[in-house]
Amino acid sequence: MFKGRCTLKDDTGKRVSLHRSAMMCCVAALTLLAVWCPAEDLRGSVNLGELPQGWHDDRSRDLALAGLRGHRVILTMAYASCHRLCPATMDEFKRMQRVVDARGEIVDFVIVGYDPKNDSPAVWHQYRLSRGLNRDNWHFLSGSHAATLQLARQLGFPFWTYDEHVMHEPRAVIFDTRGFQRAVLGSRNSRWSDAL
């Protein structure tokens, strides 16, 4: 069933060839990691100021994550051509937006591109427009390959490329008004808006 080989890129960009059965082991390992890492163990471990800061939004403006302190920040990683997990994540973010609107709160939603080569500011701008995500508190960010990898490592967003796809799990990190990490949301959470 899993005969043949697949080609992946590791976090340095080097191509690695694996048997499909090895690929399935990687998927299983990531699933176990998501189950074994409760959100409580990660609270307060990262501050927005400790993350890479050189990002460009979908209008090609510079944005430093540390500059978002003052309101809560909900950050995820996605890629613009994703057809399954990323749209589901955007739906969760929309639900969260409705919850905070009903409370009269301001929250910044930050979406960082997994694929800097393809998730350019222009691509993210088209993504935003085509999905009606026009509010100013939504930030679609692109950065360098190195900054993207560093952010993913610091916040626990494991990913790899498989053919032309970015393989990843649904995940978001909530930061408080002082910029400290307070919660991690993933596939175990049925409705992310409940964490607000």
Interval 80-128: pLDDT, tens:
888 888 888 999 999 999 999 999 999 999 999 988 888 999 999 999 9
**What mean pLDDT comes out for the span 141-160?**
91
Give which of 47, 52, 66, 33 is closest to 182, Cα–Cα.
47
**Which of the listed CATH numbers 2.130.10.10, 3.40.640.10, 3.40.50.2000, 3.40.30.10 matches domain 39-195?**
3.40.30.10
The model's pLDDT over 3-55, given as tens digits with 9 standing for 90+, comes to 444 454 555 555 555 444 444 444 434 433 333 333 334 444 799 999 999 89
Output the CA angle 118-122-125, nearest 5 degrees.
Answer: 110
Output the CA angle 98-78-85, nearest 5 degrees.
Answer: 75
Looking at residue 30, what is its pLDDT? Answer: 42
Give which of 143, 132, 155, 73 is closest to 108, Cα–Cα.
73
b or e along 155-177 (b: 16 or more beta carbons within 10 Å of the residue's beta carbon)? bbbbbbbbeeebbbbbbbbbbbe
DSSP string, 151-162: HHHHHT--EEEE
Dist CA 28 CA 2 (whole Å):
14
Looking at residue 13, what is its pLDDT? Answer: 55
b or e along 11-25 (b: 16 or more beta carbons within 10 Å of the residue's beta carbon)? eeeeeeeeeeeebee
**Contacts (Cβ under 8 Å, ≥6 apart) of 185:** 39, 92, 171, 172, 173, 174, 192, 195
The model's pLDDT over 8-21, given as tens digits with 9 standing for 90+, comes to 455 555 555 544 44
Of all helices (H) and strands (E), which one includes residue 140? strand 138-141
List the domain boundaries for the chain. Answer: 39-195
48 within 8 A of 179, measured Cβ to Cβ: yes
